[in-house]
Amino acid sequence: MRRCVPRLTVVAVAVVLGSPGLGGIAQAQHWPDAPVAFAGGRVLLAGDASATFGSEDPGWFTYTDYETDSLRRVRAGVTIEARPSRWLSFLAEIRAETRAGVVPYAWYVRVSPLENGVLDIQAGRIPPVFGTYARRNYPQDNPLIGDPLGYQYLTSARPDAVPANADQLLKMRGHGWLVQYPVGSSVAEPGVPMIAAGRWDTGVEVRAGKPGLEGALAYTVGTLSYPLVRDDNHGKQLAGRIVWRPVPAFAIGASAAQGAFISHDVLTARSDIPDGRYDQRAFGLDGEASWGRWLLRGELVANSWQLPPLDQPRITGPLGAVSGYLEAKVRMGPRFYAAARGDQLRFSTIQGTTGAQTWDANVARVEFGVGYRIRRGLLVKASMMNNWRDGGKVRQSRLAAIQALFWF
């Protein structure tokens, strides 16, 4: 693993300080704090840039893949939306991120056929309908610097490689950052999080309802933990979500998803893999309450991956995982806020040769942080987090990070 801190720091400073310079704006001593509109508001351009620098994470608690630490990265994104008419828009988001390069993050067409706006159809690489956090995966929407475990922590499950027996799976406990199994791809790769917040799926989504009660249904080629652009197993995912907001201060949502998880290459790797559905299934509840200067959010997600039962000792049932977090933010004036999040990720038990164990090591995280708003679209955050894990070489890790972000 390479650590190029000086280069990262230089890039971070350049991105955050240089962002207002887009389009020559800095030369004019102006900072945009709203999207830039062209053609009478029919074309909109919005952007964000963030630079995060944190302490070294030897336990890989905060990694989003083998090389990307969410506490040490620079990210910039541009969103372009074209609205040729009131009922039609085309939207694309391009992101540049440390080590990931420049990637098209989202691209889809949005159709709103009814005058009253109670129905929207989105097709392309679309935002996930499940839960809430994946849709607020922008630095300014996250009061802290780390992500919830369910949306970031790399488990030892992989869609393109599976263990032949329970012992091989147990051997990878706490090793989600680099997993290797004998069936399917033989290359060591990171496992997947329960829900991938950093990548979106491809398909069609229909949203209906009013802000008080609305629902959405999506049909996509990947799954929550493994979103795709092209289908890899001839299976699709169906995901749905309903949100009830009885009063402005309170919202409660429920989500569910089921989709084919294991890739075709795994299913054809051995002739003795039984026919069946090897799905990811998830059910989630989320809530948000706010009053005065307080904002409270929480999510609970129960998830399972079904792997093919192969050799003894067999992995018979689905691999279960439950994650939940509670997050609070309090504003202490126009510039300052403080926030905290408590987080758990727990796994189900399987039977190996040496006894019963959770199939991956349970993890817990507590993060505290503060934010200082320099101006409308310029925020600096600092946070400290403690991670605990009951497996792997590093069982506990205390990390600190600072983040500067700019958006318009």
Site residues for other proteins per CB under 8 A:
25, 28-37, 40-41, 44-46, 79-81, 83, 86-87, 89, 91-93, 105-106, 108, 110, 112, 117, 120, 127, 129, 134-138, 205, 207, 211, 214, 216, 247-249, 290-293, 295, 331, 333-335, 373, 375-376, 407-408
- Residue number, 21 or 248, with CB nearest to other proteins: 248
DSSP secondary structure, 152-191, as one string: H---S--SSEE-SSHHHHHHTTT-TTSB--SEE--S-B--
Q: In the chain, what is the straight-line distance between the N-terminal and C-terminal CA atoms, in Å? A: 34
203: nearest Cα among 224, 215, 226, 219: 219
- Residue number, 120 or 232, with CB nearest to other proteins: 120
Distant-in-sequence, close-in-space partners of 335: CB < 8 Å, separation ≥ 6: 372, 373, 374
Residue 392, phi-psi category: left (phi > 0), alpha (psi -120 to 50), beta (remainder): left
Residue 52, phi-psi category: left (phi > 0), alpha (psi -120 to 50), beta (remainder): beta
Q: How far is CA 378 from the centre of its chain?
A: 23
Task: Compute the least distance from the CB of residue 334 to other proteins, in Å.
Answer: 4
- Residue number, 63 or 108, with CB nearest to other proteins: 108
The residue type at 255: S
Cβ contact 83:42 at 8 Å: yes
Q: What are phi and psi of 347, to 5 degrees?
A: -120, 155
β-partners of residue 217 are: 206, 240
- Residue number, 120 or 327, with CB nearest to other proteins: 120
Task: Compute the least distance from the CB of residue 405 to other proteins, in Å.
Answer: 14
For 34, counting Cβ atoms within 10 Å of its Cβ (0-12 exposed, 13-18 middle, 19+ buried), the class is exposed
Task: Compute the least distance from the CB of residue 174 to other proteins, in Å.
Answer: 32
Task: Compute the least distance from the CB of residue 90 to other proteins, in Å.
Answer: 11
Alpha carbon distance 197, 277 (integer Å)? 25
Task: Compute the least distance from the CB of residue 282 to other proteins, in Å.
Answer: 18
Task: Compute the least distance from the CB of residue 357 to other proteins, in Å.
Answer: 38
Distant-in-sequence, close-in-space partners of 210: CB < 8 Å, separation ≥ 6: 118
Task: Compute the least distance from the CB of residue 58 to other proteins, in Å.
Answer: 32
- Residue number, 14 or 109, with CB nearest to other proteins: 109
Task: Compute the least distance from the CB of residue 328 to other proteins, in Å.
Answer: 14
Task: Compute the least distance from the CB of residue 204 to other proteins, in Å.
Answer: 13
At 318 the three-state DSSP class reads coil
- Residue number, 15 or 243, with CB nearest to other proteins: 243
- Residue number, 31 or 388, with CB nearest to other proteins: 31
181: nearest Cα among 304, 307, 62: 307
- Residue number, 9 or 140, with CB nearest to other proteins: 140
Token representation of residue 353: 């040769």
DSSP secondary structure, 187-223, as one string: S-B----SS-SSS-EEEEEEEEEETTEEEEEEEESS-
Task: Compute the least distance from the CB of residue 201 to other proteins, in Å.
Answer: 13
- Residue number, 135 or 236, with CB nearest to other proteins: 135
- Residue number, 99 or 373, with CB nearest to other proteins: 373
Token representation of residue 271: 């002739």
